[in-house]
Structure 1
Amino acid sequence: MNGLFSNRDIADYYNQTQQHYQLWWKLGKALAVHYGIWYQNTRTFVEALQNTNLALLNLAGNVVNPRVLDAGCGVGGSSFYLAHTCGAKVTGITLSEKQLAYANQQLARQKLAHLVDFKLEDYTQTSFPDHTFDLIWAIESVTSTRDKIKFGREVYRILKPGGILVLADYFKVPNLFDKNNWLEKWRLTWSLAPIITHDEFVTAMESERMKFNKSLDVTREITPTSRRMYYASMAAAIPSLVYNRLHNTSHFGKNHYKSGIYQYKALRQGLWEYRLLRFVKPDEPEIQSPKKTG
């Protein structure tokens, strides 16, 4: 691995580590592989995971029966949440064959086929017609692509005028020296693209005519989740080393336990932040000023 991950690499990461999320992340109950947001009255980890969906929906605003793209849908938890909560008609897309199969199993159980469907697609080059969606939703997925501008261009194409993009993701804090290289070590265990700053991401979206609307810093609120991941990784370290010695373990599966250590040490040093962002596609296309002649 050279640290520049292809779509196949990203799919392999999720395919090879899904059992870890089932064991450590309550996947069967929460249907989520993201960070949970903890408020003062949050009592359980599953509730924290659901809070992330709630916070992002609140950021999206007053949406009723919207047509939604869940861009990087994981095993479908957010897609089901949106269908149940606001009557959304949702298409979830993922690169992972295992995630797609798991999401479709859950879809059959929840009997939401009239509102939700899942596809194996790349969110930077989808098969959807122009102006398809009212809302594009992305939780911790856009950080996987190296080409943020290409993502922004596709978002602009498939959103309806006035449509909204909301996302939750991690961003590098600018102008800090990562002497232990925690961020790089972390991203390599999760098949992430190099982690960029919040302002760099906003600039990329604005270059594709998406209007930046709002940003919420919830780093403090996800810190208990980060800490939980750290303790889980520490607990898994010795069993993982023993298992790796006795079995022909996959590349991502072998190193996955290290990720929780890296991300928490980076967070403790203030190297990254967790933010919720909102962008809007303008209602009217920009009118270009006529060029002067003569």
Structure 2
Amino acid sequence: MYWPCPGRNCCMDELPRFEMNKDKIVEYYDTCDKDYRLVWHLDRCMAMHMGFWDEDTKRISEALIRENDILAQQANITPNDRVLDAGCGVGGSSIHLAKNYGCHVTGITLSGKQVESAEHFADRHGVSDKTNFQIADYTKTPFKDESFDVIWAVESVCYAQDKNDFIKEAHRLLKPGGRLIVADGFQRASPLSPKEERLLSKSYLGWEVHNLETDARFRDGIESHSFSNIREDDVTPMVMTSSRRLHLYSYLAFFVNIYGWLRGRRGRVEMGNVVAAYNQYKSLKRGIWTYKTFYAEKLG
């Protein structure tokens, strides 16, 4: 499919790999906030991740909650835990954990706008006393050693240029016996053809993700930082419905973007979001990337 370009490079004909740019990540989320509110019901669901679908899941709101609950159960979260939501977005997972599991959650994000939204949502759901949100980089946080029982990262580690930076910081922040839980996209381990590389880039660059780690390298990174009881699960079938929906939404969003661009209301960032939404399903179906969860415990 051909995507007309409303501005230079927005169609991403050239797809070099860049280093992570925090300002660009913030720009993406702050600019596309309105799209998430429209398509992913952000004001109600408070989440930007894929969600897990099973035979009992009927709506995206249920899938988003289902993912939170499955990950919380894997991490064995209890009311006594202090959790760091690394890349918390507008606070949906943090609020769900505090409200339904009774734990205290600190959410960090690069976006001040997301901090404001998260605080608003926490107050609306009555968990302001169990949550706090702040601007911070999850590879270089301001917290003391061994501050948390659980590090929670849902579709956020992909933004780190070097994923080992995240793993190293998670290890520092966890108490002995603390748990790491990650859900994210991972590149297929076998070499990609140039065509596959290009499709993968078009699937993620519009979301300001500039490299996906392979699951094997990510696991090696966890092992090298003295984690134990590592569990890796491929849950790609559980996110396929959301992936397909994003792909279908992109058709309508494309025409909305063109209309908005002509009226000076939408631009490069919004178009990049649409291009990514369109291509991510194609690359997922072809097995170029998978969606996996990782659980690990810090050695005591």
Q: Same fold (TM over 0.5)?
A: yes
CA contact (8 A) 2:77 2:101 kept: no
Give the letter for the 1:92 counterpart: G
Give the letter for the 1:147 counterpart: D
Match in the other structure for 1:274: 291
Give the letter for the 2:158 counterpart: T
Unpaired runs of 5+ in structure 1?
284-294
**2:65 pairs with 47, 50, 53, which one?**
50
Aligned ranges for residues 244-263 of structure 1 at < 5 Å?
244-247=261-264, 249-263=266-280
Partners of 2:127 and 2:267 in 1: CA distance:
34
Partners of 2:110 and 2:271 in 1: CA distance:
21
**2:252 pairs with 219, 231, 235, which one?**
235
Partners of 2:232 and 2:213 in 1: CA distance:
15
Partners of 1:147 and 1:198 in 2: CA distance:
14
Matched, 1:132 2:147: yes
Match in the other structure for 2:113: 98
Unpaired runs of 5+ in structure 2?
1-8, 10-15
Partners of 2:186 and 2:204 in 1: CA distance:
12
Match in the other structure for 1:286: none
CA contact (8 A) 2:31 2:270 kept: yes
1:134-157: CA deviations, max 9, x gaps?
Answer: 001000000001121111111111
User: What is the number of equivalent residue pairs in this alignment?
Assistant: 283
Match in the other structure for 2:89: 74
Deviation of residue 97 (structure 1)? 1.8
- Helix, strand or coil at the partner of 1:125: coil
CA contact (8 A) 1:7 1:95 kept: yes
Partners of 2:78 and 2:72 in 1: CA distance:
9
- Helix, strand or coil at the partner of 2:115: helix
Deviation of residue 62 (structure 1)? 5.3
Aligned ranges for residues 159-170 of structure 1 at < 5 Å?
159-170=174-185
Using the aligned pairs only, state the percent identity. 36
Match in the other structure for 1:209: 226
- Helix, strand or coil at the partner of 1:247: coil
CA contact (8 A) 1:59 1:278 kept: yes
CA contact (8 A) 2:152 2:182 kept: yes
- Helix, strand or coil at the partner of 2:32: helix
Match in the other structure for 1:193: 210
Partners of 2:30 and 2:289 in 1: CA distance:
26
Give the letter for the 1:235 counterpart: L
Give the letter for the 2:161 counterpart: R
Partners of 2:278 and 2:183 in 1: CA distance:
21
**1:113 pairs with 125, 128, 138, which one?**
128
TM-score, normalised relative to structure 1: 0.92
Give the letter for the 2:146 counterpart: H
- Say which one has the larger Rg: 1
Partners of 1:160 and 1:114 in 2: CA distance:
22
Residues 102/135 of structure 1: CA separation in 2 closer, same or farther (3 Å cut):
same
CA contact (8 A) 1:91 1:117 kept: yes
- Helix, strand or coil at the partner of 2:89: coil
TM-score, normalised relative to structure 2: 0.90
- Helix, strand or coil at the partner of 2:65: helix
Point out 4+ residue stretches in structure 1 off by more than 4 angstroms.
Answer: none
1:259-288: CA deviations, max 9, x gaps?
Answer: 1111011012111111111011101xxxxx
Deviation of residue 59 (structure 1)? 1.1
Residues 189/63 of structure 1: CA separation in 2 closer, same or farther (3 Å cut):
same
Partners of 1:212 and 1:152 in 2: CA distance:
15
Partners of 2:61 and 2:77 in 1: CA distance:
25
CA contact (8 A) 2:108 2:134 kept: yes
- Helix, strand or coil at the partner of 1:230: helix
CA contact (8 A) 2:77 2:103 kept: no
Deviation of residue 178 (structure 1)? 5.5
